[in-house]
Structure 1
Amino acid sequence: MTRFYNKQKELSEKWIGPVYPKIRNKLLKNSEFSNMCFVLPAGKGIFQVQSGGKDYIVSILTKSCDCRKWDLTGIPCNHAVACLRHERFPTEEMMPSCYSIETCGKVYGFNIMPCKDQSLWEKTNGPQVQPPIYEKEVGRPPKSRRKQP
């Protein structure tokens, strides 16, 4: 409950911009690394990016890169950020909606209701809940010692 309360306060007071702050920091780190990338446009939203002695193919339309970081996380990798800069697209618009502040507001928008003390719970006439019955497994038990070489 305390975490939800703190996140609600942060959301209303501190968070600004369209993207969640931790994701924005990752995006800023990727934009710093994108300064070392050389972009060669191939046409129709496809680019060849040279970075660290390797070539990567980036497609802005399908939001994919050969390094697969953009494919897996949805956060544009440094190669994608370099391509977006080349085409003068804002990188925050290429982010999925799950990283937006509005989505975080929906996640932390409700309250978790606290429970009463156990002494105030209603007594029911249902069966007593017991732990499952232990059944011994068939076969020889494994050794717990490690042999020295």
Structure 2
Amino acid sequence: MYDWLNEIPYTDWSRAYFSRRAKCDMLLSNICEVFNRQIVGARDKLIITCLEFIREYMTKRIVNVKKLQAKCMGPLTPHATEVFDEIKKQAAEMSVLMVVVNVKHKTCACRKWDLTGMPCKHAVAAIWDMSRNSIDAGIPEEWVDEVYWLSTWKKVYDNVIEPINGPEMWTPSECPTTLIPPKHHTQVGRPKKKRKKAFGENELEQEFDKGGKMTRKGTSIKCGKCGNMGHNVRSCKGQGGEQSTASQESHTATQGAPVYNLDE
């Protein structure tokens, strides 16, 4: 595991080397995966049908998001508000004793404010401490990066997908050549709908179980009774013969050896 991880650049897995450019703590491609799941029913269709399916899906999504935005209150998005409320609860239990936060540059020693753009519990405690000492710091939400603002979220969905005419209302082409679709050839076997995974993605998924924990696949088990590899104490039946006898003799010799008190 160490050798495998050491071959990957530190900027890809260590928070100490992460860039401050992306104000997000999401390290997964869940956004892309959700979109891929929604268009599964259109992947095996013709290109025009596939694009029409995506256009209809995006139109419905924009409408649903706008309905949700109309119900939102406060300066932050709903998810950002939920996350930041939990941060403020943790900050309320802290006391400011030493400087670990640079309010001017919006940085903290834990690097969470640097990487996510959202003040960590140390920063929130420092902001409250500034207000208690008659320093106009405002509310903690004002220090959150604009990527989490409700107004920014609304700007993303300002544009809408305009309706278009169907194929029966398209202007006929003036091209004298009639374009004929290619001959359809049915491939052998059932058509595949799942996307092609990137190199190494299957191996990475196999190392984790459904609960998100790493499996013990590929690890060597050593018996604590006989000292041999390949089994544990419960399944030990004296495997290894010579190694087991040698380990027992070594253990017996160790027990019979004299003990010296160096303090004397």
Q: Which TM bucket (shorter chain)?
A: 0.5 to 0.7
Counterpart check, 1:59 vs 2:105: no
Q: Which has the higher helix share?
A: 2
- C-alpha deviations, 1:24-64, integer Å up to 9, x for none? 111110011113322125xxxxx2xxxxxxxxx11111111
Partner of 2:161: 112
2:60 alignment partner in structure 1 = 2
Match among 136, 146, 152 for residue 97 of structure 1? 146
Structure 1 position 127, deviation (Å): 8.0
Aligned mate of 1:83, from 126, 130, 142: 126
Partner of 2:74: 17
* Deviation by residue 1:86-121 (Cα, 9 ceiling, x = unmatched): 112310111122221211121111112356556766
- Structure 2 CA distance, aligned partners of 1:128 and 1:76? 60
AA aligned to 2:116 is T
CA RMSD of aligned residues (A): 2.8
Q: For 1:100 and 1:26, how far apart are their aligned partners in 2? A: 13
Q: Provide TM-score, normalisation by structure 1.
A: 0.65
- Which structure 2 segments of 5+ residues have no match? 1-58, 132-136, 183-229, 231-264
The structure with the largest alpha-carbon Rg is 2
Moved over 4 A (4+): 114-130
Q: What is the Cα deviation at residue 126 of structure 1? A: 9.5
Relative contact order, higher structure (CA 8 A, sep 6+): 1
Which protein is richer in strand relative to its size? 1
TM-score, with length taken from structure 2: 0.39
- What is the CA deviation profile of residues 6-27 of structure 1, one whole-angstrom value per residue up to 9, with x for unaligned ones? 1111222x11111112111111
In structure 2, the CA distance between the partners of 1:129 and 1:64, relative to structure 1 (3 Å rule), is: farther
